[in-house]
Structure 1
Amino acid sequence: MQHRKYPFIVGFLIVPLVLYITFVIWPYLQTFGYSLTNWTGESQNFKFIGLDNYTALFHDSVFRTALWHNILLLIFLPVITILLALFFAFMVNVGGRSTAGGVQGVRGAGIYKVVYFFPQVLSVAILIVLFGAVYRSDSAGLLNGILVKLHLEDANNPIEWLNDPNLVLWCLLAIQVWAGVGFYLVLFSAAMQSIPKDIYEAALLDGAGRGQTFFKVTLPLLWDSVQTSWVYISIFAMDFFALVSGLTPGTGYGGGPDHHSEVMATYLMRNFLSFGKSGYACAQGVIIMLVTLIVSAVTLRVSRRDRIEF
């Protein structure tokens, strides 16, 4: 019987493995191969140039700027998104007043979950159209209109949210936080609902406040979910192509003004499709992959802790 199970297992795994190698591993290997050439993308006539593309990348001021923007997103996007999602999940699940029925969420918790999750049903294209209206650089824009009505801004000199070098990246970050918090709220809510209510009730009986309950009970028991979420958001922060290309000024793929919202993905596409520097773009793709793998591995290593059973 033992000898029969191996052909059975191999039979189930061989097709997915072949598909994975064909459509995932092989394109990665091709990308790395092209990154060592001067390929223009228009023909198969190219020559091997070794690591020249990689050397050029780190002397490219635009690429360094794009890399720095991705690093900022890697720092702020997971922190803000996870903190807000944890806070809202805690409030809608166990943040209400303790009653005879036990620990419960705030009043209207079910409605709040639907409201917070709503941005998840919107596609990126809809987000671009929606926030294009929110960030309009005249008094007809939602933000500028509110500020003008509150007399906090001059109608003749509105804020140019997506054209201001000091604001544009943070405006994009705010969009992604708004769109992403609901998903992680639901994820953390599901994890919280698996925690026995007796643990919270025992903490309340011992005199623990909401803050102590959150940091001493909820967060340690949700750590696996937080760890996974951090890795997932970090991977997303390495992309950001759609929002930047759809909302910011610039040639072809956004990134303006003057590269102040440039990220590695937009610079890659500009080199690949607009400048005819496909080998150079492939080198950027390899760098993005390596940075993503390193960030994921470091995040998992740093955030690793003993599993708490309950």
Structure 2
Amino acid sequence: MRGKRLFIAVFLIPGLLLYALFVVSPYAQAFQISGTDWSGLSPSYEFIGLENFRRLVGDGYFWNALRHNGLLLVLLPVATILLGLFFASMISVGGRADRVGVHGVRGAGFYRVVYFFPQVLSVAIIGVLWKEMYAPHTGMINGLLRGVGLDGLAVAWLGDPRFAFWCVLTVLIWMNVGFYVVLFSAAMQSIPRDLYEAALLDGATRLTTLVRITVPLVWDTIQVAWVYLAIVAIDGFAIVQIITDGGPSSSSDVVGLRLYKTAFADGQFGYASAIGVAMFFLTLTVAAMFLRVTRRDRVEL
């Protein structure tokens, strides 16, 4: 037993030390820096206590960014999970029933690859790609609208405060839904086909089958998806920074981007750390809340 514990410690302790050094330590330092007026470059700073947090309460730019994160928190998980469940259901059990039984649509393997494709692209590539697609004169979206005679709908998508946030939301849904299609498809493979065949014989529609059979049996996976997507919604920094940089007129700003600009553009690392601490507690609170709200009894087969 002693030899086994020593063997485990040899492989576990170095990894834990590296994690503590490069992950836990920066988090701890952020808490310390949030109580200072450090500019990020000067070695001198003063401790100012909770002054940064008092300033945060009255910061209109922060609350505007937080409002956008709140909208993402509501809309992104709902839209992504609904689309993921629909596509996964069609891939897994959406085909016509025959003598073999209930199965997915024809070409299901191809569709899985297509849906998952955005996951193999880096966030930078996705951001640049969609920014070019939204371009007012050379973008593909306006080009398609003009091509079908809808010139009046061709607008400067990223330059209009009415549309910039929704453009970013669309990109976030597009880049995430494929992963959850594959995740939900894998979860659905464990559901006995007999249940779907019995529902089909009873005259249940596909929507009823999805709501009454599929969703309860893959609820654990859906719960995990809620939490992951909530974290993505609270962050959202990279895509927003690449596509709109928070504009125009802060109409697509998010807390992560506000933190970045406060630190590296304004040189206020103390205040930026306070924003980071607020994000830390917000993420923990939202994750715990989502786990609590979506908790339900496990359905056993």
Q: TM-score range by the shorter chain?
A: over 0.9
Distance 1:63 1:19 in 2: 33
Alignment map for 1:109-258 (pairs within 5 Å): 109-138=108-137, 140-154=138-152, 158-248=154-244, 254-258=245-249
Output the TM-score relative to the length of structure 2: 0.95
Offset at 1:31?
0.3
Q: Secondary structure at the match of 1:38?
A: coil
Cα deviations across residues 234-274 of structure 1 (Å, max 9, x unaligned)? Answer: 111122112111111xxxxx211111111111111111111
Match of 1:260 in 2: 251
Offset at 1:279?
0.2
Distance 2:11 2:124 in 1: 38
In structure 2, the CA distance between the partners of 1:111 and 1:9, relative to structure 1 (3 Å rule), is closer
Offset at 1:107?
2.0
Gaps of 5+ in 2: none
Say which of 275, 278, 285 aligns to 1:287: 278
Cα deviations across residues 17-50 of structure 1 (Å, max 9, x unaligned)? Answer: 3222222222111000000000010122111101
1:64 and 2:63 matched: yes
Cα deviations across residues 72-126 of structure 1 (Å, max 9, x unaligned)? Answer: 1111111101100100000111011111000111122222212211222221222
Q: Secondary structure at the match of 2:221?
A: helix
Runs of 4+ in 1 over 3 A off after TM superposition: 3-13
Distance 1:158 1:181 in 2: 26
Q: Return 266-275 or 9-18, whichever deviates more.
A: 9-18
Cα deviations across residues 192-247 of structure 1 (Å, max 9, x unaligned)? Answer: 11112122222223332211211111000110111111111111112211211111
Q: Return 66-75 or 5-14, whichever deviates more.
A: 5-14
Output the TM-score relative to the length of structure 1: 0.92
Gaps of 5+ in 1: 249-253
Identity level (%): 52
User: Counterpart of 2:252 in structure 1: which amino acid?
Assistant: S
Match of 1:302 in 2: 293
Match of 1:28 in 2: 27
Cα deviations across residues 32-72 of structure 1 (Å, max 9, x unaligned)? Answer: 00000000101221111011101101111101100111111
Distance 2:234 2:101 in 1: 43
The alignment of Structure 1 onto Structure 2 pairs a total of residues equal to: 301
Match of 1:251 in 2: none
Distance 1:38 1:172 in 2: 33
Across the aligned residues of Structure 1 and Structure 2, the Cα RMSD in angstroms comes to 1.6
Q: Return 229-238 or 18-27, whichever deviates more.
A: 18-27
Cα deviations across residues 114-170 of structure 1 (Å, max 9, x unaligned)? Answer: 2211222221222122212210122x321112222222224xx94010011111011
1:79 and 2:75 matched: no
Distance 2:98 2:178 in 1: 27
Distance 2:42 2:280 in 1: 25
Distance 1:17 1:166 in 2: 47
Offset at 1:6?
5.1
Q: Secondary structure at the match of 2:157?
A: coil
User: Counterpart of 1:97 in structure 2: which amino acid?
Assistant: R
